[in-house]
Amino acid sequence: MKDGGRLAAAIEVLDEVERRHRPVQVALKEWGSAHRFAGSGDRTVIGNLVFDALRNRASLSAQMQDESPRALALATYVLTWDKGLEALTAVLSEDRHAPEQLTDAEADRLAAPVPNDLQPWQAADVPEWLWPKFSAVFGEYAVAEGRALAQRAPVDMRVNTLKSDREKLLKKLNHAGAQETGLSPLGMRIEAKPGLGRMPHVQAEEGYRKGWFDLQDEASQLAALLAGAQPGQQVLDYCAGGGGKTLALAAAMENKGQLYAYDADRLRLAPIHERLQRAGVRNIQVRDPASSTLDDLKSQMDLVFIDAPCTGTGVWRRRPDSKWKLTENALNDRMNDQVHVFDNAKEYVKVGGRLVYATCSLLPEENADQISRFLSENPDFASVSALDVWTAMLPGKPVPAYANERGELTLTPASTKTDGFFIAILERTA
């Protein structure tokens, strides 16, 4: 396929996402199934166009004075990918599968400088209704933080120390451009490629298939690291999901002690079994919510880790369609979920044990406000400064820019070059 046909395909997929409210990955997969002549390279470019259009929807719509799929796709090609108006004009005229030629109004808007009257939420590519909450967190840096969340995310990997080490794996992955992450001592990163760039398929690498490394964003790696799981401890991963942090905790425990993986949604938990086998983990019990309970674990855990259900505002780089689907009602639902999870998980922490609360959200209602509520209602728990733990465990590494008075940490793409993540540590004192 030529770029004209790829643009037409991207417009078709964006229309499917907008008009029928289809998840973007589903819409892309269905388009590929219906157009089998498109090669893997074509599907990659089409996917990049669609995702970049969604990442920058507000700013591109303002530039084009039009939020249609066509306007977004054309603006992505010319402006976000920096192809230029002349290249687009040629693409539209030379490919019979391309979209219709530009109108005079479209050409004028594509050639115009960035409007100087953009609203802050448009410049930041953050939903308008969410801007007051977002700007309350980041203040004068809110636009920069929003822009960072609108960029492509790198591929981050965590070395599985049960089977390998970072130096060895960096040599193995040198051909893919892997480098050390800036903060996590276990992390490797392949930076995102712009425009037409295609990322390597790391799941096809020998090291992935043999369990030497796993895919995990650096922020998630850091959250598991700061949890401080030790060999021989009793640990509960209360919202284990597919098991990314479970595997990181197991490696920190060196396969010693006992780690329990639980999730209220057994479908989310399903992938964990294959991942455990590949990683060579032997100290995990998976507790299926349909056939087992956690009653025997009450007041027994040295560490309970909560990767709480949340709005996912910190991972907009990876799921840009979710940015525009988020509603006030959805936020309220997640906050209620968090209260429920928090109040259940506390029962398993022993005196002297720790409760780690993490989200991939950047909103205070899901983060610091939840900690304040919990501490006010549970005087037998006290706050432990995650910032102090960071300084002790990561000597010489820059401390996060966003830390509140209790030492709770917020990581962001702009400030730490990670996904957006919140980390708080509590201790049961009585």
Return the pLDDT at 318. Answer: 94
Q: How many helices (H) and strands (E) does the chain have?
A: 21, 13
What's the whole-model pTM score?
Answer: 0.94
Give the CA count within 13 Å in the CB-facing half-sphere of 338: 29
Residue 150 near residue 123, CB atoms below 8 Å: no
Query: For each of the chain's 430 residues, which pLDDT tens digit applies?
Result: 899 999 999 999 999 998 888 889 999 999 999 988 888 889 999 999 999 999 999 999 999 999 999 999 999 999 999 999 999 999 999 988 999 999 999 999 999 998 888 999 999 999 999 999 999 999 999 999 999 999 999 999 999 999 999 999 999 999 999 999 999 999 999 999 988 888 889 999 999 999 999 999 999 999 999 999 999 999 999 999 989 999 999 999 999 999 999 999 988 898 899 999 999 999 999 999 988 899 999 999 999 999 999 999 999 999 999 999 999 999 999 999 999 999 999 999 999 999 999 999 999 999 999 999 999 999 999 999 999 999 999 999 999 999 999 999 999 999 999 999 999 999 999 9
Calculate the CA 418 to chain-centre distance. 9
Alpha helices in 210-366 (DSSP H): 218-227, 244-252, 266-269, 272-279, 320-325, 328-345
Residue 7 near residue 305, CB atoms below 8 Å: no
Give the CA angle between residues 410, 416, 419 to the nearest 5°. Answer: 70
Residue 356 near residue 424, CB atoms below 8 Å: yes
d(CA 31, CA 352): 54
Bridge partners for 384 per DSSP:
425
Bridge partners for 427 per DSSP:
354, 382
Cα torsion 311, 313, 315, 316: sign: positive
Question: Nearest CA to 22 among 63, 54, 60, 59?
Answer: 54
310 carries an active-site annotation: no
Range 29-44 burial, b when 16+ CB lie within 10 A, else e? eebbeeeeebeeebbb
Return the pLDDT at 282. Answer: 93
Output the DSSP codes for 96-140. TTSPPPPPHHHHHHHHSPPPTT--HHHHHT--GGGHHHHHHHHGG
Return the pLDDT at 144. Answer: 97
Residue 76 near residue 69, CB atoms below 8 Å: no
CA distances from residue 81 to 73, 90, 143, 201, 230 in whole angstroms, order as listed: 11, 16, 20, 22, 46
Annotated active-site residue in 13, 143, 284, 360? 360
